[in-house]
């Protein structure tokens, strides 16, 4: 036996924690670096890919001449296609995917539910209600697209505030009450949106339905910049709390036992994630399933450590939406599908497979 002040013989050397840190750092660099490299490649290539008539009544895949597009001036077709149509779509897709993926990781950790995503807690339904009311009142006529974006942003923040107040028990935001409050408010907002749509004219109803599908076409740079500021702020807060998310994902009691204040972290993470969702939906509309697919795809590769999972999911989510939007441009060209349709077609089977897996695990237990 060793004395009280002497470590036993099998005690690992003091260098062990550092080695583990270096391994984590290497994994962080490899996983996150690879994900962001993928995002950069996708964003660089997506604006160059398009279809053109092949002379026989069909379409053929063509790559835009980037040099010609950047060298051209006003009136140059390639310049206008690249700078006004495709580049803002790619940037908006990267922003939307990054934000929704980050929010998905945060909500899954808060609720400790692998099926949670940004549209589980009703924030998106609040944004949709705000946009629907703005379209019904003709805000786009006198404020342009910014009017709808501001209304959606305000609706999402109001919904997040109401959910926080309804779910609060003392200082805490328990996962069960947070989920119940979010689902209830989502149903209420959806019913209100349906009521507003029922009273709308045919043209207004079409605009409402089109917005509800989610889309990245003709997003203006000023709207994109305003959304990017809010998304960057919210993601920055989430990244700063990645370590606390690891603790919170194991349960409130476990988090408190290692010095993490679960009530404080829950409030900060919930409102930061809600800010991100609000900013994304305000410019892109409700694009579903991204916050479900990206976290699980990255988790299968990188594991559940949020210090790796969160930044890698941000990059992967951005690349995923850009790829889906490129497919949306090409599938029915010259017509263009809303990107929300593509993500739903991919995400719905993914969700069912995930649900079946979770059911199998429950039965196995």
Domain range annotation of the chain: 101-354
Please report the sign of the dihedral spanned by the C-alpha atoms of residue 238, residue 282, residue 98, residue 100: positive
Is the backbone of residue 273 left (phi > 0), alpha (psi -120 to 50) or beta?
alpha
**DSSP character string of 344-360:** HHHHHHHHHHHHHHHHH
pLDDT of residue 161: 94
pLDDT of residue 73: 66
Q: Record the tokens describing residue 265, joined without a space.
A: 């972290």
pLDDT of residue 287: 93
pLDDT of residue 324: 95
Question: In a 3-state reduction of DSSP, which class is residue 3?
Answer: coil
Q: Record the tokens describing residue 238, joined without a space.
A: 């989430």
pLDDT of residue 24: 59
* Topology given in CATH for the domain delimited by 101-354: ABC transporter involved in vitamin B12 uptake, BtuC (1.10.3470)
Maximum Cα–Cα distance across the chain: 89
Q: Tell how strand 49-53 and strand 59-63 pair up.
A: antiparallel
CB–CB of 355/127 below 8 Å?
no
pLDDT of residue 98: 97
Q: In this structure, what are the phi and psi dihedrals at residue 116, rounded to the nearest 5 degrees?
A: -75, 145
* Nearest one of 259, 326, 338, 302 to 101, comparing CA atoms: 302
Separation of alpha carbons 200 and 238, rounded Å: 39
The tokens 């490129």 sit on which residue? 326
Separation of alpha carbons 13 and 335, rounded Å: 64
Helices 123-136 and 175-198 sit at what angle, rounded to 10 degrees?
20
pLDDT of residue 21: 42
Separation of alpha carbons 237 and 94, rounded Å: 19
DSSP letter at 52 equals: E
pLDDT of residue 363: 64
pLDDT of residue 272: 96
Separation of alpha carbons 265 and 168, rounded Å: 14
Total-model pTM: 0.87
pLDDT average per 10 residues of sequence, the chain (365 residues): 43 38 63 93 94 75 83 76 91 96 94 85 92 88 79 94 90 86 93 95 91 87 93 97 90 84 91 95 92 91 89 96 94 86 90 78 64
pLDDT of residue 365: 58
User: Could you give the angle at the alpha carbon of 277 between the alpha carbons of 356 and 121, nearest 5°?
Assistant: 50
**61: part of which helix (H) or strand (E)?**
strand 59-63
């Amino acid at each position: 036996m060793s004395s009280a002040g002497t470590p036993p013989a099998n005690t690992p050397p003091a260098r062990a924690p550092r080695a583990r840190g270096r391994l984590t750092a290497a994994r962080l660099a490899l996983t996150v670096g690879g994900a962001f490299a993928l995002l950069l490649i996708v964003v660089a290539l997506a604006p160059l890919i398009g279809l053109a008539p092949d002379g026989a009544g069909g379409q053929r895949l063509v790559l835009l001449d980037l040099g010609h597009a950047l060298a051209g001036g006003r009136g140059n077709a390639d310049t206008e296609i690249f700078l006004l149509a495709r580049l803002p779509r790619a940037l908006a897709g990267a922003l939307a995917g990054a934000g929704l993926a980050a929010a998905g990781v945060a909500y899954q950790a808060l609720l400790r539910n692998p099926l949670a995503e940004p549209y589980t807690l009703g924030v998106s339904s609040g944004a949709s209600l705000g946009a629907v009311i703005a379209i019904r009142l003709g805000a786009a006529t006198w404020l342009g697209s910014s009017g709808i974006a501001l209304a959606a942003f305000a609706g999402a923040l109001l919904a997040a505030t109401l959910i926080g107040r309804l779910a609060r028990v003392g200082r805490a935001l328990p996962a069960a009450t947070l989920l119940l409050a979010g689902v209830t408010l989502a149903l209420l907002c959806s019913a209100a949106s349906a009521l507003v749509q029922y009273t709308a004219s045919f043209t207004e109803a079409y605009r409402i339905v089109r917005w509800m599908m989610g889309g990245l076409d003709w997003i203006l740079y000023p709207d994109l910049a305003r959304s990017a500021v809010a998304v960057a702020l919210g993601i920055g807060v989430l990244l700063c709390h990645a370590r606390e998310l690891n603790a919170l994902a194991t349960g409130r009691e476990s988090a408190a036992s290692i010095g993490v204040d679960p009530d404080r972290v829950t409030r900060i993470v919930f409102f930061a994630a809600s800010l991100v969702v609000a900013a994304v939906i305000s410019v892109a509309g409700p694009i579903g399933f991204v916050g479900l697919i990206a976290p699980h795809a990255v988790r299968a590769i990188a594991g559940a450590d949020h210090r790796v999972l969160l930044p890698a999911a941000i990059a992967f989510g951005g690349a995923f939406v850009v790829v889906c939007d490129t497919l949306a441009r090409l599938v029915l060209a010259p017509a263009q599908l809303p990107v929300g349709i593509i993500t739903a077609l991919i995400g719905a089977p993914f969700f069912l497979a995930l649900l079946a897996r979770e059911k199998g695990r429950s039965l196995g237990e």
